Structure 1
Amino acid sequence: MHHLYAWLRRRPLLVDGAWALLLLMFGVFEVIIDQPGPPDVPHLVALGAMSLVLLIRRRNPTLALVATLVIGVFQLFDDVAPGLEALAMPAIAYSAAAYSPRWASRTALVGGVLAPIAAVLRWWDNPDVGMTGVVFFTLLLMGPFVIAWVLGDSMRTRRAYYMELEDRADRLERERDQQAQIAAAGERARIARELHDVVAHNVSVMVVQADGAAYALDNAPELTREALGTISSTGREALAEMRRLLGVLRSQTETDTYVPQPGVEQLEDLLDRVRSAGLPVDLTVQGVPVELSQGVALTVYRIVQEALTNTRKHGGPNVKALVRLRYLGDDVELDVGDDGRGAAAPGDGMGHGLVGMGERVAMFGGRLETGPAPGGGWQVRALLPVRPADGA
């Protein structure tokens, strides 16, 4: 039954055509059988016209309403008493109220009220019924018109409400995407500036080592060989950083003053500043520490910085934080958690900090997980390669 209903909803013209055909068939039967003598041609004309109007009521409800009014006036002036074709009028009133402009909807309501009054005044011929009965009968005839109009107007209101909700949802989605793009673009620009410092440092090291190698070439070959090895490893690292940089670098004029960027060695200084701001935080290091590439070390520092900033903003009173740094051979795992409000914490709806973390981690081929911790609070976990591949 549900499939049949859905199939019929997709074919409104077929449904209206079936109703129009039934109305025409039974109307002709009424005219020919119930009225002896020659066929009532004006009645058949009104019947055929009303059947046609019923067929087009959803395609052009305003035209259907105007045609119905014309047919009603024709019946009044040509003394064509209403028959089964009058059954189509409530459907026309519904369509006008649901799909036509406001003026047409109001016209349909007025017509639905006046049509029974006009019919009673024009064709009522029962003197045995008092005025009360006539009024009651007139109100009874108005009922289907008014009910159909109310249903159609309710459909119009509900459709307008749904359209407003859809439009609002589309606007919010576009705004969210724009905010995410702006946040990602800003974070890429910041990453590009930071990596500029890292690459510049590597190139500076290469220049210094090359000058030293040239000075010691004749007198200390071993020092020259060691300097060349340093130049080789530093150049590879700088090349890898440059390749990653090209993916996020934006063509814009930079006027900021570049400063040395922090790394893992500066985590204790960062935590001291966080503690002085009123957030108790501990640092745990597990595994055998190894030297991280400068880009990865900077990413670790920035993730810790942003995660603790979020803890201070959203963790609530008396919150504590823990930073765990695990060295896993070729990878380093960073875990920043707190015992604050977690998912119950109020947010500002922007999420730019999380966007920035994701951009940083993705650039080095790592993995980032953020969300409420199983035991309560909030957790940020990142897995980064110690030394990303040159092609990363």
Structure 2
Amino acid sequence: MRRFSLWLRDKPVVADSTLALILLILDLVIARDSTNPAAFLVFSVLLPLPIALRRVYPRAMAVTFMVLSFCTSTIGFIVGDPTVHAALLGHGIMLYTLVAYVGRREGFWYALALVADTAYGMAVVTGFKLGDLAFVGIYLAFCWVLAEFAGARRAYDAEVAARHAVAESERERRAHDAVSAERTRIARELHDVVAHAVSVMIVQADGARYALRTAPDTTEKALVTIAGTGREALRELRRTVALLRTEQAPDQVPQHGTAGLARVAQLMRDAGLAVELELSGELDDLAPEAGLGVHRIVQEALTNTLRHAGAHPKAWVRVHRHTGDIEIEVTDSGGVPVHPEARIQGSGLGLAGMRERMAVLGGSLEAGRTPEGTWRVYARIPLAAPDTE
């Protein structure tokens, strides 16, 4: 049953068509009371049609339903048929759709048009009846309140889903960083093993060259040492390289440059963080390590902002490439989280990780609260990486 409900949620036309069919059946039931069945049946079929597409084209279908309602009253006046269509209950459905899926402003204008349409219908067809007016008012008020609850729940669910998407992206990023750190460790081990083995082989080869004629036994011993050391180094080299041969999936490789920064900003916007992104200078031809550094600093800073942001959080990201370095500045509006259950749980190592990355790149990082109460992260990455050999 739950699987069917989820499937139905993804197929709004199916559910709304069922609702339109119910209105059609209700209209057909009272068609026998009409004094002009032919005209009544035409509008019995036409009125429910916009209901079937109400969530696909909410504004257009609301206008269409309102026009059909006006035409129904006019035709009823012309043919002298005071029978009210049951399908006009769709007005409340349309009002609910606009408030819940579009906005209160559209719902307000539709309610005003509905008041005018109801007054017109009662004036020219049925006459003003206090009981009918009370029913219409209560019905529309109920639809509006129901739409408010449904809209608020949908907005909350969308925010939580977006924050979970950010959390999932954060987990993938940390997993990628862990793999990168492990590969770096393996590379250092490989460097140490090969450097040690080659150094031993060079020393032994130099000794063997000097002792070649005067001490053949010593030369033979040195050659045996060279061969053994070479074989051991080769075994270690093969073992280490085997660990490095695992390829990463394409979707796990971070996207650098302006496209990557835009993707991070959009991901945060979807999670409810208003991000203003300002990029200047050529950022698409950076060295891989510098491009990854910019990407990670912005991503980590925005994630921290989202994690600790208050109501209606905002962040301003500025990345500027100079001749010799790159400046990164991320500031936020500060505050306290308004939805603790949707808050992203971090490891508490975000700033430490950014500082370590800056240290590797030879850059600098400043992070702290400003006198205005906002949080600011400022980093500078030199374009000429320092030589660590």
More displaced stretch, 95-104 vs 51-60:
95-104
TM-score (norm 2): 0.52
CA deviation vs aligned residue, 1:118-148 (integer Å, no higher than 9, x gap): 555555658xx8xxxx2x6523322222222
Match of 2:222 among 224, 227, 235: 227
Identical aligned residues as a percent: 34
Question: Does structure 1 residue 140 correspond to structure 2 residue 139?
Answer: no
Distance 2:108 2:153 in 1: 18
The residue number in structure 2 matching 1:27 is 27
The answer on whether the counterparts of 1:120 and 1:138 sit within 8 Å (CA) in structure 2 is no
Match of 1:71 among 68, 72, 76: 68
Distance 2:8 2:166 in 1: 33
The answer on whether the counterparts of 2:73 and 2:125 sit within 8 Å (CA) in structure 1 is no
Match of 2:98 among 84, 96, 99: 96
Gap change, CA 1:197 and 1:85, over 3 Å in 2:
closer
The residue number in structure 2 matching 1:181 is 176
Distance 2:71 2:218 in 1: 113
The answer on whether the counterparts of 2:16 and 2:51 sit within 8 Å (CA) in structure 1 is yes
Distance 2:185 2:207 in 1: 34
The residue number in structure 1 matching 2:198 is 203
Distance 2:63 2:10 in 1: 26
Q: CA deviation at 1:52?
A: 1.8
Distance 1:76 1:100 in 2: 27
Question: What runs of 5+ residues in structure 2 fail to find an aligned partner?
Answer: 246-345, 354-389
CA deviation vs aligned residue, 1:236-258 (integer Å, no higher than 9, x gap): 22223444565659xxxxxxxxx
After TM superposition, the structure 1 = structure 2 runs for residues 146-295 of structure 1, keeping only pairs within 5 Å, are: 146-182=141-177, 184-185=179-180, 188-189=183-184, 191-193=186-188, 195-243=190-238, 246=241
CA RMSD of aligned residues (A): 3.8
The answer on whether the counterparts of 2:98 and 2:106 sit within 8 Å (CA) in structure 1 is yes
The answer on whether the counterparts of 1:113 and 1:146 sit within 8 Å (CA) in structure 2 is no
The answer on whether the counterparts of 2:70 and 2:121 sit within 8 Å (CA) in structure 1 is no
Distance 1:122 1:146 in 2: 25
Distance 2:164 2:52 in 1: 36
Q: CA deviation at 1:7?
A: 6.3
The answer on whether the counterparts of 2:62 and 2:94 sit within 8 Å (CA) in structure 1 is yes
Gap change, CA 1:154 and 1:191, over 3 Å in 2:
same
CA deviation vs aligned residue, 1:204-249 (integer Å, no higher than 9, x gap): 2112212323333444444333322221221122223444565659
SS at match of 1:58: coil
Gap change, CA 1:147 and 1:113, over 3 Å in 2:
farther
Distance 2:10 2:166 in 1: 29
SS at match of 2:30: helix
Which structure: larger Rg?
A: 1
Q: CA deviation at 1:348?
A: 1.5
Question: Does structure 1 residue 49 correspond to structure 2 residue 46?
Answer: yes
Distance 2:113 2:100 in 1: 15
Gap change, CA 1:237 and 1:112, over 3 Å in 2:
farther
Gap change, CA 1:9 and 1:176, over 3 Å in 2:
closer
Q: CA deviation at 1:89?
A: 2.2
Distance 2:64 2:51 in 1: 10
Distance 2:179 2:22 in 1: 63
User: Across the two proteins, how many residue pairs are aligned to each other?
Assistant: 248
Question: What runs of 5+ residues in structure 1 fail to find an aligned partner?
Answer: 250-345, 354-392
The answer on whether the counterparts of 2:197 and 2:233 sit within 8 Å (CA) in structure 1 is yes
Distance 2:26 2:14 in 1: 18
CA deviation vs aligned residue, 1:269-313 (integer Å, no higher than 9, x gap): xxxxxxxxxxxxxxxxxxxxxxxxxxxxxxxxxxxxxxxxxxxxx
SS at match of 2:48: helix
